[in-house]
Amino acid sequence: ARYGHCDVPQEWEQDPSLGRWVHLQRTSRNDGRLSQKRVARLGALGFNWGRSNLSWEENFEQLERYKAEFGDCKVPLGWERSPALGVWVYNQSKRKGALTVGQVERLDALGFEWDRSNLSWDENFEKLERYKARYGDCNVPYRWKDDRGLGYWVNNQRTSERNGTLAVERVRKLEALGFQWARQRAAWYAYVGRENRNKAWYAYVG
């Protein structure tokens, strides 16, 4: 429902076990070990047994067209115009060591981003920008029905900031957008400033 397809990447960061399970269903069916009942249930869901039939070259050409249109190679996993291209881009970032030198060089020349963690953060930040433009704040509900992943991501930013593991440049980008680390703490932070603000807060409430 969220991405519009069943092509879960084998090393999907958000749920690696699901990616491995999907891969196992394909291999089990190809080996004749998957029951017809399960084959039918997966088929009714639109399960793609052969994954993408496109070659590496054809996918690369699609990525070139995406870059020409959007200015980058950040194809979302759930891109509605071509979900398979989003999966292919994700897979390239995970298997750089398995690519040929020529393939790596061509992706580099196109401006491909290998660090998917940064890419995922940027994608979610862009989603948050759209949420802010629509609703006027960054307080995405934790289980927001329109995009649960965004709600989880927002909560994770608060947790990471509280633990001191969120990069300074990301903290600044979020704050420039009007991000509230905690609704109760927002006014306090504005009063004490950034320096030692968590220490000051916990001294205040402790």
pTM of the model: 0.44
Give the model confidence (pLDDT) of 130-184 as tens digits.
999 999 999 998 878 887 778 888 988 898 898 888 889 999 999 999 999 975 4
200 CB burial (10 A radius; 0-12, 13-18, 19+)? middle
d(CA 13, CA 120): 10
Give the model confidence (pLDDT) of 124-144 as tens digits.
898 899 999 999 999 998 878
DSSP string, 109-165: HHT----HHHHHHHHHHHHHHHHHHHHSS----TT-TT-HHHHHHHHHHHHHHHHT-
d(CA 167, CA 6): 33
d(CA 37, CA 25): 13
Give the model confidence (pLDDT) of 77-134 as tens digits.
667 778 788 888 888 988 888 888 989 999 999 999 887 666 578 888 988 999 999 9
